[in-house]
């Protein structure tokens, strides 16, 4: 039986592997900023920012976080993370924030491993 962290790592690896190589550098940059944004502002405002200023890479990252957190925390694989975060109690919000940060750490590790430019900075 796999641990939650192993399953999270497998998902992150699959998501990063599916990315186009030319988007990796920007994707890593967004992932580097994400934890500070979440800790400073919270998961709700961070997700709202990603939706409001959505470019192709931010949209992809939002989708990656949304698919994982909605499935694991809210048991709704097709749900919209921002909508679910706003509609649920604080206990679910904190769990969603933890899962988003944990997945983001794995996404960053795999993206940095695939992008030589990201490893230098």
pTM above 0.85, yes or no: yes
Question: Among 19, 5, 22, 119, which Cα is nearest to 61's?
Answer: 19
Q: What is the pLDDT of residues 11-54, one digit of tens each?
A: 999 999 999 999 999 999 999 999 999 999 999 999 999 999 87
- 3-class DSSP state of 109: helix
What is the predicted pLDDT for the residue at 65? 96
Q: What is the pLDDT of residues 61-98, one digit of tens each?
A: 999 999 999 999 999 888 899 999 999 999 999 999 99
What is the predicted pLDDT for the residue at 78? 86
**Distance between CA atoms of residues 50 and 61, nearest Å:** 9
Alpha helices in 20-55 (DSSP H): 24-41, 43-52
CATH code matching the domain that covers 4-113, chosen among 3.100.10.10, 1.10.357.10, 1.10.3720.10, 1.10.520.30: 1.10.520.30
């Amino acid at each position: 039986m796999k641990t939650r962290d192993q399953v999270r790592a497998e998902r992150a690896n699959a998501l990063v592997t599916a990315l186009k190589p030319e988007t990796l550098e920007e994707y890593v940059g967004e992932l580097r900023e994400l934890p500070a944004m979440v800790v400073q502002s919270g998961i709700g405002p961070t997700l709202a920012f990603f939706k409001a200023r959505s470019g192709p890479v931010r949209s992809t990252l939002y989708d990656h976080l949304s698919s994982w957190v909605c499935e694991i925390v809210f048991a709704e694989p097709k749900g919209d993370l921002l909508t679910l975060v706003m509609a649920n109690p604080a206990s679910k919000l904190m769990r969603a924030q933890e899962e988003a940060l944990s997945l983001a750490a794995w996404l960053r590790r795999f993206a940095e491993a695939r992008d030589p430019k990201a490893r230098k900075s």
